[in-house]
Amino acid sequence: MTSSFSVIEKFSGVLIQFSSEKLSFFILFFCKPLLDVIMIIGDQISSAQILLK
């Protein structure tokens, strides 16, 4: 019971480490431009709301 649990724990630790590296890579290349676009759209919306008022 204990040995199988430790194996699962080690495997999940490695998986988390691997996925965090992949995730940071993914965020850097995909989410950053997306975030910039969202910020630009947000600025457009806020300026449009100011104009409408």
The gap from C-alpha 49 to its chain's centroid, in whole angstroms, comes to 29
Instruction: Report in angstroms the alpha-carbon separations of 7 from 15, 16, 24, 31, 50.
Output: 12, 14, 26, 33, 58
pLDDT in tens, 5-45: 788 788 888 877 877 788 778 777 887 888 899 999 999 98
Rounded Cα–Cα distance for residues 19 and 16 (Å): 5
Q: How many domains does the chain have?
A: 1
| Residue whose token pair is 């495997």 | 11
Give residue 29's domain range.
1-53
| pLDDT band at residue 2 under the 50/70/90 scheme | low
Q: According to the model, what pLDDT value does residue 11 have?
A: 84
